[in-house]
Structure 1
Amino acid sequence: MTRTDKTPSVTKRRRQALLAGVFGLAVAGMVAGEFLPGTATPAFAQITTSQPAGTFSFADIVEKVSPAVVSVKVKKDGGDQVAMNDGEGLGGGNIPPQIEQFMKRFGLGEGRGPMGPMGPRGHRGPGGERPVVGQGSGFIISADGYVVTNNHVVDGADEVDVTTTDGKEHVAKVIGTDPRTDVALLKIADAKDLPWVKLADSAPRVGDWVIAVGNPFGLGGTVTAGIVSARGRDIGSGPYDDFIQIDAPINRGNSGGPTFSLNGEVIGMNTAIVSPSGGNVGIAFAIPSETVKTVVNQLRESGAVARGYIGVQIQPVTEELASGLGIKDAEGALVAQVQPNTPGAKAGLKAGDVIIKLNNEPIKDARDLTRKVGMLKPGTEVQLAVLRDAKPLTVAVKLDQLPTEQVARADQGGEDAAGKDMPRLGLQLAPAKGVDGAGNEGVVVTGVDPNGPAAARGFRTGDVILKVGDKTVATPKDVRDGLAAAKAENRKAVLIQVKSEQGVRFVAITLDGKAKG
């Protein structure tokens, strides 16, 4: 009886030792070698491992890549200029519906917990004034000092300082930002021979190991590990959502920090968390490296991002629509309307066309088409594979620039042309006519500051502003002019008419920047 009791445990120990040895050898094989051709090599080049057989550690990778991860400190004037980085993320009524349903399903604070940017946490001065100092993360992508971080980390910053792992502080300049993808590019002044890391060329697989490095809660040089939980996540933050979901523990202050693969390449930039309390619960989102690379290249060239535009309103292809259209698969983007005098109209696209490929890449749904087109530069000619009356054809379209007045440049101030004494709603706006699926009337909300007065009144991405006061609006300038007119008349508040999925409603915004119901 005694022998029978002992045998299983001995066998189990031997099996565990064997599996550990195999796993250790496999990982050692994955992390060894040289990863970039040429003479210029990033910080992670020549990663090798001296770990004994049967053990596994991320230490060799972390040792190589950590010097390229930096702390980003921002300083801002007080008052309304600090609008993004002091709160608990997208909390309260501004949680995207799919995230809210997820949280309710699993009892995470009944969907009321914060979800959103993990940016700098501000410090309040005497009298409880708005935060003036915050801290996030970033990473160096070139030896001459280009640094990538989140837009919400440096949004509205008057000064930006970058601290490297050796404790040295460097003054950095904001080269450009892209609020739509939450990417910002900085440049350390007079930098040379800095350690840097490479943005990955290929996307990770679900289940791949990842390592996150950053400054959670201002604690520098923190390393956590986990796996890729999912890809292609849409969390409702904008039209170009395509997040990687990871379960590596990351928290506030990790914003802008990199997530590495086991070969030391950056597969994503940490940008948002879902949490009922503000802390990590194993659900975090990173911007894919391919998105970061596309945006950074444009910011480096011109300080701004210009996006391609077809000029069609599109919608997903459901099973019922596919049946009615006489096509086999419920995939692609259905053209609901072609706007006149746009690239789509000039190319001959028609309502009822189903776009199934762009440059031979399959289009999964309407959002997929929006993302792919938005990542291309104006002037690019693309080939669209289209099903018309269930028959295939190819349409060549030369993209135009997406009509918008919200192009972010480094030389633009934090306030708009209406004046610094104007209330900030915390909204990014674009003419509805220039945004696919937004209709032809009003100004569409393309981004929402979770700590702004508009967010407090339930504004969401995709809402359409129809009137400010008694004036209809068609451009972001019209919205600013409406606010200015109300302020000039010494009104305490202005009524804004908003159309959303729930219908049309009026919202009162006080002219000191606060919202009232």
Structure 2
Amino acid sequence: MKPLTRSLSMWTALAVGLVFAQNSMARELPDFTQLVEDAAPGVVNISTTRTAESYRTPFGNFGGQDVPEIFRHFFGDRFPVPPGGGHTEELQSLGSGFVIDEDGYIMTNAHVVDGADEITVRLNDRRDLKAELVGEDKKTDVAVLKVNARDLPTLKLGDSEDLKVGEWVAAIGSPFGFDHSVTAGIISAINRTLPRDAYVPFIQTDVAINPGNSGGPLFNLDGEVVGINSQIFTRSGGFMGLSFAIPINVAMDVADQLRTEGHVTRGWLGVMIQPVSRDLAESFGMDKPEGALIADLDPEGPAAKDGLKAGDIVLSVNGEAVDRSSSLPRLIGQVKPDQDVELKVMRDGKTLTQTVTVGDWPDELSGGDSSGHGGQTSPARLGVAVQSLSDDELERYGVDAGVLVADVDPRGVAAESGIRPGDIIVSVDQQAVESGRQLSEIVSKLPSDRAVPVRIYRDGSSLFVALRLGDE
């Protein structure tokens, strides 16, 4: 019986240990009850209405941008309206926001109120107030509203620069219209750059965010707002574990400008950039891929006027490293127009420092032989057939020199590098190309043991590709 007793004692001790461990873990998990109690009064629900054109057709009812892609393929944006088929309807949307000033200023996302004819803010005490749009900045997706009220409960603002990956955060908002829903999670990453959002270093979290949460606050454990919930990555339309928030430091800078100036100013270099791949890094003599490669410049832009060139690689801005090309627009955007920035640049294998006076972002931005098309040259080593361009053609394309790629050998090194028919080869290994014969001469002297940069012009844009020649 003694062995059995000893065995039971051992299992009892193990069970007690597991319970103790579970209790310890439970005590370590954050408790958000006080945070929610303190912060909830400053969180608001936002609803909007707008009038849109709708179409009744035999294929269904479509409104505005909801016209199916197959119809857009044939009709574009001018969808034909059958007789009596067009009518207007009132569309509604929901979002969230929070009070930043007791005199009635409220922050939300620009996309929540975009195109709204009427904006209604519902406070925590169930008051519904009409709001006016003070200003919006679509590049950062920030908007400021104003309601006619005083002594509103405001939220404490934190410092998003202090955030660390892995720390707990919570969100309060109105997903699918369910007011003041609370969700929590951790910060998954910081300084995320998303497509078409080059000016925002997003906070990535696994906090459950759904439609209706947009514009609501993201809190740290001290109950301070550290971000504005803005976007989700989803294939289903709902939460999939990837949520993105605008850092509060970025949002408040925008909000302050909207309140005082009515618009936002941000720095502008006037360059077109691309990432530095491993092959491109090698072709430029770099030890590792980093920085932002300048593929083209606005000839009237600040960068061109202050001496930057196509092929320069920007490595840092005022001492802050440009680890990825996507970091450059954000860093420059934070600089006020007419201020100087010190850029560390790699050019022709050497590092230099260039001072540029940053400009103001424009309101509207878009992104040899003289025998014309008389003949084609085929640099065999490159695997392309090219034809020279007349002066008129060079002017039309907006390039000083170059040859048009008429055909590409699908098995050649040019095709492997991404060169396509219709491209204009402007330079190879930093040497300008003015004719097919010159291209052949340059290519014949290229090394086969390393990649070299090739600058091309494609579809109105300039970019670099890395060309690696094999042994002949």
In the TM superposition, what are the counterparts of 1:61-80 in structure 2 within 5 Å?
Answer: 61-79=35-53
C-alpha deviations, 1:438-493, integer Å up to 9, x for none?
Answer: x988xxxxxxxxxxxxxxxxxxxxxxxxxxxxxxxxxxxxxxxxxxxxxxxxxxxx
Deviation at 1:266, TM superposition (A): 1.6
Instruction: Sort the Cα spacing of 1:277 and 1:500 in 2 relative to 1 into closer, same or farther, 3 A.
Output: farther
Aligned partners of 2:51 and 2:88 also within 8 Å = no
Deviation at 1:378, TM superposition (A): 2.0
Task: For structure 2, list consecutive stretches of 5 or more residues without a partner in the other structure.
Answer: 1-6, 55-61, 70-85, 368-395, 399-457, 462-472
- 2:348 is the counterpart of 1:342: no
Report the counterpart of residue 325 of structure 2 in structure 1: 366
Q: Secondary structure at the match of 1:77?
A: strand
The whole-number CA distance in structure 2 between the counterparts of 1:287 and 1:222 is: 19
Q: CA RMSD in A?
A: 3.0
Q: Which deviates more from structure 2 when the two are superposed, residues 218-227 or residues 197-206?
A: 197-206
The whole-number CA distance in structure 2 between the counterparts of 1:20 and 1:154 is: 41
The whole-number CA distance in structure 1 between the counterparts of 2:88 and 2:362 is: 37
Report the counterpart of residue 445 of structure 1 in structure 2: none
Report the counterpart of residue 402 of structure 1 in structure 2: 361
Q: Secondary structure at the match of 2:179?
A: coil
Q: Secondary structure at the match of 2:166?
A: coil
The whole-number CA distance in structure 2 between the counterparts of 1:19 and 1:73 is: 40
TM-score scaled to structure 1, two decimals?
0.61
In the TM superposition, what are the counterparts of 1:23-422 in structure 2 within 5 Å?
Answer: 23=28, 56-79=30-53, 130-405=89-364
Report the counterpart of residue 455 of structure 2 in structure 1: none
Aligned partners of 2:155 and 2:224 also within 8 Å = no
Instruction: Sort the Cα spacing of 1:258 and 1:180 in 2 relative to 1 into closer, same or farther, 3 A.
Output: same
The whole-number CA distance in structure 1 between the counterparts of 2:47 and 2:23 is: 46
Deviation at 1:70, TM superposition (A): 0.6
Report the counterpart of residue 408 of structure 1 in structure 2: none
C-alpha deviations, 1:25-56, integer Å up to 9, x for none?
Answer: xxxxxxxxxxxxxxxxxxxxxxxxxxxxxxx4
Report the counterpart of residue 49 of structure 1 in structure 2: none
Larger strand fraction of residues:
2
Deviation at 1:203, TM superposition (A): 4.7
Report the counterpart of residue 366 of structure 2 in structure 1: 431
C-alpha deviations, 1:172-191, integer Å up to 9, x for none?
Answer: 21011111221111112243
- 2:24 is the counterpart of 1:15: no
The whole-number CA distance in structure 2 between the counterparts of 1:204 and 1:298 is: 24
Q: Report % sequence identity.
A: 40
Deviation at 1:246, TM superposition (A): 1.4
Q: Counterpart of 1:342 in structure 2: which amino acid?
A: G
Instruction: Sort the Cα spacing of 1:19 and 1:159 in 2 relative to 1 into closer, same or farther, 3 A.
Output: closer
Q: Secondary structure at the match of 2:326?
A: helix
Report the counterpart of residue 12 of structure 2 in structure 1: 6
Aligned partners of 1:137 and 1:257 also within 8 Å = yes
Query: What is the total number of aligned residue pairs between the two structures?
Result: 344
C-alpha deviations, 1:342-369, integer Å up to 9, x for none?
Answer: 2112211122222111111111122110
C-alpha deviations, 1:197-256, integer Å up to 9, x for none?
Answer: 315342522211110000111111111111112233344243335322211122111111
Q: Counterpart of 2:366 in structure 1: which amino acid?
A: P
The whole-number CA distance in structure 2 between the counterparts of 1:147 and 1:499 is: 42
Q: Counterpart of 1:293 in structure 2: which amino acid?
A: M
Aligned partners of 1:203 and 1:289 also within 8 Å = no
Task: For structure 1, list consecutive stretches of 5 or more residues without a partner in the other structure.
Answer: 25-55, 81-85, 94-126, 406-429, 433-438, 442-497, 502-517
Q: Which deviates more from structure 2 when the two are superposed, residues 280-289 or residues 234-243?
A: 234-243
Q: Secondary structure at the match of 2:199?
A: coil
C-alpha deviations, 1:252-281, integer Å up to 9, x for none?
Answer: 111111111111222221122233332323
Q: Secondary structure at the match of 2:14?
A: helix
The whole-number CA distance in structure 2 between the counterparts of 1:178 and 1:499 is: 29
The whole-number CA distance in structure 2 between the counterparts of 1:314 and 1:283 is: 27
Deviation at 1:150, TM superposition (A): 0.9
TM-score scaled to structure 2, two decimals?
0.66
Deviation at 1:313, TM superposition (A): 2.1
Instruction: Sort the Cα spacing of 1:500 and 1:313 in 2 relative to 1 into closer, same or farther, 3 A.
Output: closer
The whole-number CA distance in structure 2 between the counterparts of 1:149 and 1:198 is: 14
Query: Could you list the runs of 4 or more consecutive aligned residues of structure 1 that deviate by over 6 angstroms after TM superposition?
Result: none
C-alpha deviations, 1:303-345, integer Å up to 9, x for none?
Answer: 2222211122222222222222222231111222333232112
The whole-number CA distance in structure 1 between the counterparts of 2:338 and 2:26 is: 54
Q: Which deviates more from structure 2 when the two are superposed, residues 189-198 or residues 59-68?
A: 189-198
Aligned partners of 2:317 and 2:344 also within 8 Å = yes
Instruction: Sort the Cα spacing of 1:128 and 1:268 in 2 relative to 1 into closer, same or farther, 3 A.
Output: farther
Aligned partners of 1:74 and 1:160 also within 8 Å = yes
Report the counterpart of residue 461 of structure 1 in structure 2: none
Deviation at 1:130, TM superposition (A): 4.1
C-alpha deviations, 1:373-430, integer Å up to 9, x for none?
Answer: 123332222111222333332211111122233xxxxxxxxxxxxxxxxxxxxxxxx3
Aligned partners of 2:108 and 2:216 also within 8 Å = yes
